[in-house]
Structure 1
Amino acid sequence: MDQLLAVKIGCLAGLLVVPLLCGLIPALVKWFQSNMARGKHRRILSFIGCFAAGVFLGACIMHMVADALGDIQEEIQKRRHQGGLPHKTNCTSEEDNDSDNYPFGELIICFGFFLVFIIESVVLHCCPQAVHSHGDHENQDDHKDPPESHSSFRAFVLFLSLSFHSVFEGLAIGVQKEETAAIQLCLAVLIHKGIVAFSLALKLVQSGTNIRWRVLYLVVFALMSPAGIGVGIGVSLSNGDGSSLAQAVLEGVAAGTFLYVTFLEILPYELRSRESPLSKFFFISLGFCIMAIIAIWA
């Protein structure tokens, strides 16, 4: 077996096992059930939740949005050059410059944002109970409990967008042409996805998602990067270019959906808790900084 292929298969196995283990811990261990927490236990869970919110904020800005903008711009430039567009002339330079500078990437990301917005609005209008907390009644006996938990719909959108992004992370590993580059990228993605899997599981618990769905979500999420690696290996072996523009556009839509959930669900929920504002700031910043550091290698 080719050594590079063996390295990629090892990366595939690692990206399946580690995120799955990191996700199943908060998903199955009762200690992480926020509706059972009181006193110090509740404060610790709140700080872990704030850390997870910072992780999602960092993943959103430093990874998903940044990757989508870079890939979309790269594909636009590639097709502009492949199309043999004429050089700018003095008489049309201002118009061409306006066209070159149009924020297509931002437009696609906003499309993803508004897509979730309209879907949730329709669901809320037609079926209001679909976006309400599953655990509200369990917390009514203690006025100090955290505010109502995340909606199951938004938890599903969170899972979907993260899973979609994971495919592209795996794809990036699968198409690498050098072993060192593949290992380095895999380690960065492994740390990133392990932390995100833990945070995703925590949010699924907070949303009141049924334990069977929790486990299913986490298994599917763990499979996404290995699936991306498999596709990348196939592309690299066939020397095919693939539909890279369509992939970049879909990645932008996924980034927009994640942007919606991060800023309208995850952060507001954590910021409404009764814990110290400075403590919440510290743990949210800590989660963000870890994602920002990982972005150096990923």
Structure 2
Amino acid sequence: MDENITTTTPPYDHDKKDALKAVLLVTLFILTFLASVLPFALKRAALQTEPARRRRCFVTAFSMLSCFGGGVFLATCLLDLLPDSIESIEDGKQKMSLKISFPLAELLVCVGFFIVLTMEQMVMFAKEMSWIGGGELERLLGHDHEGLPGSLVDSQRRRTSEEPDTPPSATARRVPAADDQHFHPESHSTVRAVLLVCALSMHAVFEGLSMGMQSSVDVMLQVFIALCIHKALVGFSLGLRLVQSPLRAYV
């Protein structure tokens, strides 16, 4: 008898693993999409709330969720993106036989941050100096009311027209809760929102590859559970950031 028998994995096992990967990736996409859409539903519910007290509760909730979202993005950068970048650069150094102790990954992160900050400040400076004008730049900087719900704009105009004799100082002190900056996009820049979406989209591609390249079912399920928790938090925070930006709802 021939003892040199090679054992191969049956083809149907690969098909089952590929089918499982497809199901997990679709489930991850649906979960992330629902988490991203949830802030839009909360905003719509807040705008349809008539009592001022309940609306103030929604504004307070949005304010706290904004702080939570900022913490999620900061944690994603420091605990996920930055370690991955450091590991990739270290692997590249080893393959190229480079002996450099300089923190190159941290330098690139700082350079990217200041590039984005410089671009935004240059656009804002050009706007203030009247070098650039037009509605498109207004929407780019986030100072356009066209992205606001009609109910808020109309209600604000009605309150302004009904109180012609109100002193400016009293008007400044009595700011309606519904006009909080967490509902209005005046103080939020579209540039930051678009760059954030692009960065997280690129990061999501590599996360999908990390799960798609797994060959063990147990490891695949572990990665899937970790990605579900991570993407749900990031998706909700991203949706909250887009709600605050002057982008159109269909975007």
CA deviations 1:129-178 (Å, max 9, x no partner) are 22133459957871665444311121111111111111111111122232
Contact 1:52–1:199, Cα closer than 8 Å, also in 2: yes
Sequence identity percentage:
32
Mark the CA change 1:61 to 1:133 in structure 2 (over 3 Å): closer, same or farther.
farther
Structure 2 portions without partners, runs of 5+: 1-11, 127-131, 157-171
Provide the C-alpha distance between the structure 2 equivalents of 1:150 and 1:133, rounded to a whole number of angstroms: 8
Mark the CA change 1:175 to 1:33 in structure 2 (over 3 Å): closer, same or farther.
farther
Shift of 1:31: 2.4
- Tell me the residue number matched to 1:21: 34
- Tell me the residue number matched to 1:160: 198
Instruction: Note the 1:174-185 alignment, pairs <5 A.
Output: 174-185=212-223
- Is 1:31 the equivalent of 2:45? yes
Shift of 1:75: 2.3
- Tell me the residue number matched to 2:18: 5
- Tell me the residue number matched to 1:142: 175
| SS in structure 2 at match of 1:38 | helix
Instruction: Note the 1:37-48 alignment, pairs <5 A.
Output: 38-48=55-65
- Tell me the residue number matched to 1:267: none
Contact 2:82–2:105, Cα closer than 8 Å, also in 1: no
Mark the CA change 1:26 to 1:32 in structure 2 (over 3 Å): closer, same or farther.
farther
CA deviations 1:218-255 (Å, max 9, x no partner) are xxxxxxxxxxxxxxxxxxxxxxxxxxxxxxxxxxxxxx
Instruction: Note the 1:96-245 alignment, pairs <5 A.
Output: 99-124=99-124, 125=126, 126=132, 129=138, 130-135=140-145, 138=153, 142=175, 146-147=180-181, 148-213=186-251
CA deviations 1:193-242 (Å, max 9, x no partner) are 111111111111111321111xxxxxxxxxxxxxxxxxxxxxxxxxxxxx
Structure 1 portions without partners, runs of 5+: 86-98, 214-298
AA matched with 2:213: V
Contact 2:86–2:105, Cα closer than 8 Å, also in 1: yes
- Tell me the residue number matched to 1:236: none
Contact 1:131–1:151, Cα closer than 8 Å, also in 2: yes
AA matched with 2:30: V
AA matched with 1:106: E
| SS in structure 2 at match of 1:210 | coil
| SS in structure 1 at match of 2:25 | helix
Contact 1:32–1:202, Cα closer than 8 Å, also in 2: no
Contact 2:142–2:245, Cα closer than 8 Å, also in 1: no
Q: TM-score, structure 2 length as denominator?
A: 0.68
AA matched with 2:45: W
Instruction: Note the 1:32-71 alignment, pairs <5 A.
Output: 38-71=55-88
Shift of 1:186: 1.5
| SS in structure 2 at match of 1:177 | coil
Provide the C-alpha distance between the structure 1 equivalents of 2:118 and 2:194, rounded to a whole number of angstroms: 15
| SS in structure 1 at match of 2:223 | helix
Contact 2:193–2:242, Cα closer than 8 Å, also in 1: yes
Larger radius of gyration: 2
AA matched with 1:38: R
Query: When you count helix as a share of all residues, which structure comes out higher?
Result: 1
AA matched with 1:31: A
- Tell me the residue number matched to 1:79: 96
CA deviations 1:49-94 (Å, max 9, x no partner) are 22112111211211112222222222222332xxxx7xxxxxxxxx
Provide the C-alpha distance between the structure 1 equivalents of 2:47 and 2:23, rounded to a whole number of angstroms: 34
AA matched with 1:26: P
Contact 1:26–1:201, Cα closer than 8 Å, also in 2: yes
Q: TM-score, structure 1 length as denominator?
A: 0.58
